[in-house]
Amino acid sequence: MADFNGLPPPPRLETDDPNLMAIYTWMQDAFTFLQLTGQLSQDSTDEEIDPADLPDPANTSVALAQQTANDAYTIAVEARNLANSRAGKVGSVTVSGAATTGVVTWTGDDVQDDASYNVVFGAITLTGAPAANSTVIRSTAKLTTGFTITVAAAPGVGTDVTFDYQIQRN
């Protein structure tokens, strides 16, 4: 057994096999969730598992094993969702022509729990020769299902301004 204080970080994996990557991602999410919820402590000095704490094979069943797998899956999904919400959603929004607004709409798992997130922007693509100040965002109206940006000036007919965004939470 390796000599370390607490748990080692999860291993790195480099492969193009989608099934192997899905398993790795699930394990990484479970590891992260257990750490974030305090169920897995990096400060632990217990390096050995006491066999007396393990389930007795004579008293277990397929149903118990399935329930354990279901619980592990639920924990992994919660860990993924927590990791995704902390990592921040990314995307892009475009303001075109005579419009002064761009709209981002989320559905399903992308919907936010509340509208107290921050949005960081950067103008990434200019099509044509947009008007002055069309790359200046004046305001952002946030909802749980997305947001609307308003720029200082419309880009102009036949032109677009596309912004990259990242959602951040404190």
Of residues 52 and 125, more confidently modeled = 125
pLDDT per residue as tens digits for the range 154-163: 999 999 999 9
**Which stretch of DSSP H or E encloses residue 135?**
none
Q: Tokens in use for 111?
A: 């919907």
Q: What angle do CA 65, 68, 74 make, to 5 degrees?
A: 145
Alpha-helical segments (H) within 46-170: 62-87
pLDDT per residue as tens digits for the range 47-102: 666 777 777 777 778 888 888 888 888 888 888 777 766 667 888 999 999 999 99
The CA distance from 69 to 63, in Å, is 10
Contact call for residues 154 and 98 (beta carbons, < 8 A):
yes
Q: What is the pLDDT of residue 18?
A: 73
The CA distance from 102 to 93, in Å, is 6
In this structure, is the dihedral angle defined by the CA atoms of residues 105, 108, 109 and 114, taken in order, positive or negative? Answer: positive
Of residues 77 and 138, more confidently modeled = 138
Q: Answer yes or no: CATH 3.30.70 is held by domain 90-168.
A: no
Domain boundaries defined on the chain: 18-87, 90-168
Contact call for residues 149 and 93 (beta carbons, < 8 A):
yes
Out of 14-18, 122-126, 162-166, which region has the weakest mean confidence (pLDDT)?
14-18
Q: What is the pLDDT of residue 40?
A: 61
Q: Tokens in use for 91?
A: 């995307």
pLDDT confidence bin for 142, thresholds 50/70/90? very high
The CA distance from 135 to 150, in Å, is 10
Q: What is the pLDDT of residue 1?
A: 41
Tokens 């965004």 — which residue?
A: 165
**Sequence-ordered list of residues with C-beta below 8 angstroms from that of 35, at least 6 positions apart, any chain:** 41, 42
pLDDT per residue as tens digits for the range 1-42: 444 445 556 566 666 777 777 777 777 777 777 766 666 655
Q: Is the pLDDT assigned to residue 106 strictly greater than 50?
A: yes
Q: What is the pLDDT of residue 81?
A: 75
**Residues facing residue 149 across a β-bridge:** 102, 140
Q: Is the pLDDT assigned to residue 168 strictly greater than 60?
A: yes
pTM of the model: 0.51
The CA distance from 134 to 151, in Å, is 6
* Amino acid symbol at 100: T
